[in-house]
Amino acid sequence: MFKSILAKGYILYVEQGLYFGINFLLITFLSLYWSPEDFKEWAVLNMLVYMGGGAVTLFTGQPYLTKNHEFSKQYFAVCVMLSLVVATFIAAFVGLVYTSLSCCESVSIIGLFFVGILSIGLYDLLRKKLITIGAQKVLISLVLSNIALIMIGMYVFEISPISFLYYTHSIILVATILGIIIVAGLDRLSHSLHFDAVRRQVNYNVKFGSPLIFGFFIYWIYSNGLLIFLSDDMGDDDFGMLRVINNLLFFGNLILVVFENKKTNEIARIVSESNNREIIISITKFTKFFTIVYAFGLFLVGGLFFFLYEDSSRYSLPFLLISLAIYALSISKPFTILIKVMNKNIKIFLSHILTLIMFLCSYFFVYKFLDVSSVIAFTLSMLIAYASFFLSQLTFCRKILR
């Protein structure tokens, strides 16, 4: 059965499921066994690390996947070096901002951000490299080895949140660097890099990645950052539980990853044929399928949530509001893909801006003028904001399809 799964090309979904699964287990495990204060510190730092890692991915991994067939083999080495440079700048900036707002040692925090951000950026780049050379099976070995070592490390969870983050991301970074060295050896890359080729490749990454990074930061602000910024209005317990709920509902994102990988080319073909009816049918089928799967998954993770956490009954309404918000954001995915395929990325950026504005305005109004807790105000604002993103994407697509 396992061989048939690999033969059908589902290995990338297995790899992504394993990769995201370890994050799911870590958040659930640490939220149960760490104090609320330690878990909050770990969660905030981890969210910032993934923010920086996502930016590096957009600056190097995404451009590599689109241009590796046109550029020389040196392009992989160029992207590796760019990852190192971008990770250094982002780690320094995020580290200095974080230490200015806390009492942590700046050198230690900047080092943590550098290791974490670089590990995520290089892993994604290596992943895309292995895809292009048809060596996807190596990914499974890489992820499984990382999971084994991280699971061993979970037995030493008594160490500080910063030390634990160092441990987990150091494992990923070392394994990824070894993979890059092996891939570079197989490719027999030349040590001499031609300046003109490097400049052309770097210019392409800057042109391609810069607008994506800007839009990604806005998305991160309303999907993760606001939870950190507004956490002072909540207690550590409330912050931790909201993070856990988001983690439990993350399974929906795996469905979206599968859909985007399998359907982007199909939607591009339909668009090229100007077959609006087929586009509508494809979007409708996805929405029905996702609704059924999400409802079933919601039943399972809801039961898990109320079983694992003693104080979960207090968070029944926030759980419902967050689940509806994530559903609204998820079913906008086909519209987002359609807009990307039609090269109308500015409309996605405008939707992110609108979502951020709606989130801030809703939270200010609900928290200041209605007699509700900060947790209810935050989750209700989240639902309003994510629904506005869906409606804006739907509106843009209706205009495009006219």
pLDDT tens-digit readout, 282-322: 778 778 888 888 888 888 888 888 887 877 788 888 889 98
**Per-residue pLDDT at 190:** 46
Q: Whole-angstrom Cα distance, residue 302 to residue 249?
A: 9
**Per-residue pLDDT at 2:** 42
Q: Whole-angstrom Cα distance, residue 141 to residue 89?
A: 31
Which amino acid type is present at position 339?
A: I
Task: Tell me: pLDDT of 388 over 70.
Answer: yes
Above pLDDT 70, what percent of the chain? 68
| pLDDT tens column, 329-387 | 888 888 887 777 676 767 888 888 999 999 999 988 888 777 788 888 889 999 999 99
**Per-residue pLDDT at 384:** 92
| pLDDT tens column, 17-61 | 676 677 777 777 777 778 888 888 888 888 888 888 888 887 776
DSSP 220-270: HIIIIIHHHHTGGGS-HHHHHHHHHHHHHTTHHHHHHHHHHHHHHHHHHHH
Let me know: does 351 contact 396? Beta carbons within 8 Å: yes
DSSP 32-45: HHS-HHHHHHHHHH
- 198 against 1, higher pLDDT: 198
Which amino acid type is present at position 134?
A: G
Residue with tokens 């996502």: 54
Let me know: does 374 contact 238? Beta carbons within 8 Å: yes
User: HEC profile for the chain?
Assistant: CHHHHHHCCCHHHHHHHHHHHHHHHHHHHHHHHCCHHHHHHHHHHHHHHHHHHHHHHHHHHHHHHHHCCCCCCHHHHHHHHHHHHHHHHHHHHHHHHHHHHCCCCHHHHHHHHHHHHHHHHHHHHHHHHHHHCCCCHHHHHHHHHHHHHHHHHHHHCCCCHHHHHHHHHHHHHHHHHHHHHHHHHHHCCCCCCCHHHHHHHHHHHHHHHHHHHHHHHHHHHHHHHHHHHCHHHCCHHHHHHHHHHHHHCCHHHHHHHHHHHHHHHHHHHHHHCCCHHHHHHHHHHHHHHHHHHHHHHHHHHHHHHHHHCCCHHHHHHHHHHHHHHHHHHHCCHHHHHHHHHCCCHHHHHHHHHHHHHHHHHHHHHHHHHCCCCHHHHHHHHHHHHHHHHHHHHHHHHHHHCC
If you average pLDDT over every residue of the chain, what do you get?
Answer: 76
Task: Tell me: pLDDT of 139 over 50.
Answer: yes
**Per-residue pLDDT at 240:** 84
Q: At what angle do helices 333-341 and 276-308 cross, to 10 degrees?
A: 140
Question: Of the ranges 164-168, 250-254, 383-387, which one carries the lowest mean pLDDT score?
Answer: 250-254
| pLDDT tens column, 64-100 | 655 555 555 677 777 888 888 888 888 888 888 888 7
Question: Of the ranges 19-23, 204-208, 219-223, 314-318, which one carries the lowest mean pLDDT score?
Answer: 204-208
Task: Tell me: pLDDT of 197 over 70.
Answer: no
**Per-residue pLDDT at 138:** 61
Task: Tell me: pLDDT of 1 over 50.
Answer: no
**Per-residue pLDDT at 402:** 66
Residue with tokens 């399928």: 289
Q: Write phi, then psi, for 184 (nearest 5 degrees).
A: -60, -40
**Per-residue pLDDT at 281:** 76
Q: Whole-angstrom Cα distance, residue 215 to residue 352?
A: 7
Q: Whole-angstrom Cα distance, residue 82 to residue 50?
A: 18
- 262 against 49, higher pLDDT: 49
**Per-residue pLDDT at 8:** 45
- 260 against 226, higher pLDDT: 226
Most confident of 104-113, 240-249, 275-284: 240-249
Confidence bin at 158 (pLDDT 50/70/90)? low
pTM: 0.76
Q: Whole-angstrom Cα distance, residue 273 to residue 401?
A: 12
Task: Tell me: pLDDT of 253 over 50.
Answer: yes
